[in-house]
Amino acid sequence: MTDVYLPPSLDDDQTEVYRSIPASLVIKVEPVGRWFEARFKRQHHRTSGSFRDSGQDGGDDSESMSEEEDNIEDEDDSHLQGLDPSEWKSQDHYAVLGLGKLRYKATDDEVKKAYKRKVLKHHPDKKKARGEQVGEDEHKFFTCITRAYEILGVVTKRRAFDSVDPLFNDDVPEVDDDAKENFYEVFTEVFDRNERWSRKKPVPKLGFENSTWDEVDNFYEFWYDFDSWREFSYLDEEEKEKGESREERKWIEKQNKIARQKRKKEEVIRIRALVDNAHACDPRIKKFREEEKKRKADEKKAKQEAIKALALEKEREKLAAEEAARLAKQKEEDEAKAKALAAKKEKEAQKKAKKKVKKLLRDTCKSHDYYAENEEQKIKHMQEVEMLCEQLSLTRLSALNEQLQKSSEEAAKVVFQNEIKSVNEEIEKEKQEELRKQRDAQAAKEGGGSGGVGGRGKEWNDSDTKLLIKAVNLFPAGTVQRYEVIANYINSHSTSGITRNAKDVINKTKTLQRLDTSMKEEVNKKAFDKFEQSKHKPKKEDVSAPSERFANGEEKPWTADEQKRLEQALKTFPAQTPERWDKIAEAVPNRTKKECMKRYKDLVTMIKAKKAAQEQVAKSKKP
């Protein structure tokens, strides 16, 4: 700040200072916009700032040029003067219009203004009006400007040119150490450069080291499904409109389409290679994989520990349950032992009491000479006393003793005889009831299988019963389809005309097994009597079973030892052995040559019958 004083007055008036005046400021001014255009024109034409060429058309041109925006370049056009209009496909149309920096980011208005500016500057008529010389190159260059605007001024054509922008870098980083170490610096710029081709907006960014898994996964998912609008119609070798006929134009279009699809496929492969290489170099993927691996290992370990804990818990529960079961079983066994011991003691007590009562009954009857009149009756009554001791309960024995002791001898005799009669009746009644039940059960089973040859019931006569007994012995347990074989054997040898099946054989066999000893003996005796009659030999009254067959000492049953010796001898002396049967008879003691030969024939017959029955059953089973 500098003080400035007025000169003193001539009238010797006193000067008074009111305030200080600031010093002059020096400001550097750079012309821009329309002022820059006016300055550039003055310098180019070497005119002053007050020069106005009102007689020329350049006045309107200057006004139009002054309306251009700042972001439109005024490039040096010297290197563009030699452009050939015939090579327009290889030219950079943005550079021709002065939009080399903006390129695809330039708006439609900026393209129009750039074209208008170039026309005002390079149109031959405008140059002539400015007094400039116009050569053949000027006409060619202006043709290139017109062609550039024809391309960039139409949306579809500009899009086609942008797809093959000569300044666009299609390179894809390789998977190497530098790409892995400087992943974000290398790939961020490449993805930002290629995101211009995406149809979907916004395009996710590559991100940084601290990006989350969702952000990284969303990024790679987007680029793996990348939808590019890039198309390559600008590179068509021939123009469809140049075809002379419809067929030729169609053929040109087909060839161009094939070429475009090939380049589109190469572009898809390029983008996929970019994403694959980035995914391979991305350190976050490795980190996430390690974290996922660790998480899975932790989950697996936790799961195994849980399974182990559950197994231990189950084992503890099992041991506890086994211990509880053991204690419960031990308790039951102790209780059962206690009950058994009590029952045993009670049984022994009853046994002792009953023994005492039995002794009392015997002594009482013995003291009265068994209430008998003679020796024969005495023996009979002694047997009946033993029967009473076995049949009567402790209560009835006690009551009987009491009645015998308090009654006179005659009255006691009557009581004794009545008790014997009553017990015999009870025994007979029980026996008859048991027989009735057995007959009813047999009738019920045999009645269900009624209906044989000629409509008769399947009753079992003595002959068939004999065949059944023989077949059961012939085909022992373990024979394949035993009861079918037995039924077939009976049907083959029976003369009754009744067809038996396996069910009938099973029922009859069980019935025979349930019969008491006396009935079994009776059936066997009848079967043996029939056998004796068929052989015309006298009956042997003392024979009780078919296995005990004796005929005046001529035939006796073969024991197991004799049968074993015979079989061994048959193997030792084959058929071609001289005096075979003499040697076999010597090997079987107590058996003659004739008996050995007869036994052999019987065995052969039985084996043949057995095989025939089995074969018949096997054939009947086949479809």
pLDDT recorded at residue 302? 93
Among 70-84, 209-223, 383-397, 498-512, which stretch is predicted with the lowest mean pLDDT?
70-84
Look-up of token digits 């005889």: 417
- pLDDT at position 58 over 60: no
pLDDT recorded at residue 221? 92
**Which of 449-453's residues contact partners 24+ apart within 8 Å by CB, and which partners?**
449/501, 449/503, 449/504, 449/507, 452/497, 452/498, 452/499, 453/497, 453/498, 453/499
pLDDT recorded at residue 70? 46
Cβ neighbours of residue 37 under 8 Å, at least 6 residues apart? 62, 65, 66, 68
Percent of the chain with pLDDT over 70: 76
Q: Please report, for residues 89, 165, 355, 531, 558, the alpha-carbon distance to residue 550 in angstroms, rounded to integers and kept in the order given.
A: 132, 127, 47, 12, 11
Report which DSSP code applies to 233.
G
d(CA 513, CA 414): 42
Tokens describing residue 560:
């197991």
Residue 575 sits at φ, ψ, to 5 deg, of -65, -30
Query: Is the Cβ–Cβ distance between 522 and 457 less than 8 Å?
Result: no
pLDDT recorded at residue 454? 36
Listed in sequence order, the DSSP H helices in 229-374 are 246-281, 283-367
For residue 136, count other CB atoms closer than 10 A to its CB: 7
pLDDT recorded at residue 551? 41
Cβ neighbours of residue 529 under 8 Å, at least 6 residues apart? 539
Tokens describing residue 343:
């029952």
Helix 394-406 with 375-391: angle, nearest 10 deg: 140
Percent of the chain with pLDDT over 90: 13
Query: Is the Cβ–Cβ distance between 483 and 502 less than 8 Å?
Result: yes
Range 62-67 average pLDDT: 42
Range 592-618 average pLDDT: 82
Range 470-496 average pLDDT: 83
Q: For 177-232, what is each residue's pLDDT tens digit?
A: 888 888 889 899 999 989 988 999 899 998 888 989 899 999 999 999 999 888 88
For residue 275, count other CB atoms closer than 10 A to its CB: 21
Question: Average pLDDT, whole number, for the chain?
Answer: 78
pLDDT recorded at residue 435? 84
Range 448-469 average pLDDT: 63
Helix 394-406 with 283-367: angle, nearest 10 deg: 10
Look-up of token digits 């898809």: 268
Residue 216 sits at φ, ψ, to 5 deg, of -65, -45
Look-up of token digits 């024995």: 397
Residue 497 sits at φ, ψ, to 5 deg, of 85, 5
Report which DSSP code applies to 228.
B
3-state secondary structure of 198: strand
Among 275-279, 316-320, 587-591, which stretch is predicted with the lowest mean pLDDT?
587-591
Residue 55 sits at φ, ψ, to 5 deg, of -80, -5
Highest mean pLDDT among 472-481, 496-505, 506-515: 496-505
In the structure, what pLDDT confidence band is assigned to residue 543 with cuts at 50, 70 and 90?
very low
* AA letter at 111: V
In the structure, what pLDDT confidence band is assigned to residue 323 with cuts at 50, 70 and 90?
very high
d(CA 100, CA 95): 4
pLDDT recorded at residue 19? 65
CA 40 from centroid of its chain's CA atoms? 85
pLDDT recorded at residue 451? 40
Instruction: Kindly calculate the radius of gyration of the chain based on its CA atoms and give it in whole angstroms.
Output: 67
Q: Please report, for residues 127, 143, 197, 601, the alpha-carbon distance to residue 124 in angstroms, rounded to integers and kept in the order given.
A: 5, 11, 39, 142
Among 456-465, 549-558, 560-569, which stretch is predicted with the lowest mean pLDDT?
549-558
d(CA 508, CA 514): 10
CA dihedral over 107, 109, 115, 120, signed as positive or negative? negative
Which residue from 207, 185, 203 is spatially nearest to 195, judged by alpha carbons? 203
Range 128-157 average pLDDT: 80
- pLDDT at position 303 over 90: yes
Query: Is the Cβ–Cβ distance between 496 and 461 less than 8 Å?
Result: yes
Q: Please report, for residues 78, 80, 326, 355, the alpha-carbon distance to residue 75 in angstroms, rounded to integers and kept in the order given.
A: 9, 10, 105, 145
pLDDT recorded at residue 360? 85
Cβ neighbours of residue 148 under 8 Å, at least 6 residues apart? 91, 93, 94, 96, 97, 115
